[in-house]
Structure 1
Amino acid sequence: MSQKTTPQKDAYTMILEAIDVGTFRPGDRLVESDLAERLGMSRTPIREALQRLETQSLLSRDGRSLIVASLDHNQMAELYVVRTELEGLAARLAARHATAEEVRVLRDMVKEDHALIDNPSALSRANRRFHKQIHLASHNRFLVQQLDLVHRSMALMATTSLAAEGRGEKALEEHDAIVRAIEARDEAAAYEALKSHISVAFVTRLKLDSRNEG
């Protein structure tokens, strides 16, 4: 059992999660010795984890230092194009393959997440769980792997579109429409509902970013 969790995996996972929840934000410098002390590990697994994150473009070089990468406008647009298509495909396959139990879990998530509307950070985490559940309900391991990579890159965005006023409630309405299409086994409707959901999120994010720049 202990062989499944190695120090290297722990270091990688812990740093990745810290980026995902915003403990480390785009532009933050990650220092090997500081991370080793913070995580209570030797520098070797930290070094290997940082190299792996750099290979995945989650970290970038600033001289000799490694910093949490950030996405420019074009990179963000490219990421959303890929995410929209892959998420839409996941919804289509979920409408085809999801079990009754998986649909019930999605339905319960939508209901329970209404309690988080006034907490954008918690709602963002719940949103990721909802999308992950759809990925799993597609029953296509290769699609799940690709979407995992996409969602890792999403962590490089400094803000969540759910922080926009009124977006949380609207997003949950969109989630409800996605679940209803999956429940009805309507593959085309599920595909379009999820693509539309991601498109609205992208527009919202662009508006947020433009205000922040102003």
Structure 2
Amino acid sequence: MNQIRTPNKDAYTLILEAIDSGVYRPGDRLVESELAERFGVSRTPIREALQRLETQSLLARDGRSLIVASLDHNQMAELYVVRTELEGLAARLAARHATEEEIQVMRDMVSEDRVLLDDPSALARANRRFHKMIHLASHNRFLVQQLDLVHRSMALMATTSLAAQGRGEIALAEHKAIVDAISRRDEDAAYKALRDHISVAFVTRLKLDSHKID
């Protein structure tokens, strides 16, 4: 296993980022010794980080082992309720507070992300960057913190809704509508556009999950 040298990050952050980026997926077992080797840190901070992640329900017990947690149907529904409202608020505040430079970055993201339509994983990463830009453009640090927690839990979903046929194209059109509303400083339209975007993503994810049921 190749060692990842990241001296400026603690063990908690390293493991969290590995889960968020899909290095470790729901159901994967996390072993102290392997994590210590991968990240080039001692086992004590790894153990402390795992305990913290378990407390936050990002890890779960499977016998004596710790695995990356997964969300059941009800947990996913609850998460989307919170995400929908918080994301909508972020869009509303972005329409009020975003700088012209921030709006231009969002526009560029929508345009540049079109080349990723055939790569759902890359498009999912780009989607997170786009939403993060809206969060930051809200200029409300407490809202950004809460949305970070929500998106951290989103990593516990095994698939991305952008993997659905045609969803990427539709999502980018929705992104454009969100940016257009923010650029017009239309707070109500921005709020509605982002809430609708999350709602469609949730429906898409439910359909994807329904195909897994025997």
Question: Considering the TM-score relative to the shorter chain, is it more than 0.5?
Answer: yes
Corresponding residue for residue 156 of structure 2: 156
- Matched with 2:202 is 202
Deviation at 1:10, TM superposition (A): 2.5
Identity of aligned residues (%): 83
Partner of 1:144: 144
- Answering whether residue 24 of structure 2 is matched by residue 24 of structure 1, we say yes
Aligned to 1:82: 82
2:67 is paired with a residue of what secondary structure? strand
Paired residue type of 1:151: H
Partner of 2:118: 118
Counterpart in the other structure of 2:99: 99
Deviations 1:130-161 (A, max 9, x none): 00000000000000000000000000000000
Cα distance in structure 1, aligned partners of 2:115 and 2:145:
30
Q: For the residues of structure 1 that align with 2:21 and 2:132, how far apart are their CA atoms?
A: 16
CA distance in 2, matches of 1:44, 1:57: 20
Does residue 67 of the first structure (1) align with residue 64 of the second (2)? Answer: no
Q: Secondary structure at the match of 2:61?
A: strand
Moved more, 182-191 or 39-48: 39-48
Q: Secondary structure at the match of 1:212?
A: coil
Partner residue of 2:3? none
Does 1:36 pair with 2:36? yes
Inter-partner Cα distance in structure 2 for 1:172 and 1:40: 39
1:74-121 deviations in Å (ceiling 9; x for gaps):
000000000000000000000000000000000000000001011100
Amino acid across the alignment from 1:60: A
Q: Aligned partners of 2:162 and 2:10: how far apart in 1? A: 30
The 1-side partners of 2:109 and 2:147 are apart by 20
What is the letter of the counterpart of residue 104 of structure 1? Q
Matched position secondary structure for 2:10: helix
Q: TM-score, normalised by structure 2?
A: 0.95
Q: What's the offset of the Cα at 1:48?
A: 1.3
Q: Mark the CA change 1:30 to 1:57 in structure 2 (over 3 Å): closer, same or farther.
A: same
CA RMSD of superposed structures (Å): 1.3
Gaps of 5+ in 2: 1-5
Aligned to 1:128: 128
The structure richer in helix per residue is: 1
Q: Secondary structure at the match of 1:66?
A: strand
Take 1:22 and 1:142, find their aligned partners in 2: how far apart are those partners?
26
Q: Distance in 2 between matches of 1:178 and 1:200?
A: 14
Task: In structure 1, give the amino acid aligned to 2:115.
Answer: A
**How far has the Cα of 1:6 moved from its partner?**
7.0
**Alpha-carbon distance between aligned partners in 2 of 1:70 and 1:16, rounded to the nearest angstrom:** 14
Q: 1:11 to 1:144 in 2, by over 3 A?
A: same
**TM-score, length of structure 1 as denominator length:** 0.95
Residues of 2 paired with 1:43 and 1:21: CA distance? 22
Partner of 1:27, secondary structure, is coil
- 1:212 shift after superposition: 2.2
Quote the Cα distance in structure 2 between the aligned partners of 1:39 and 1:14.
Answer: 7
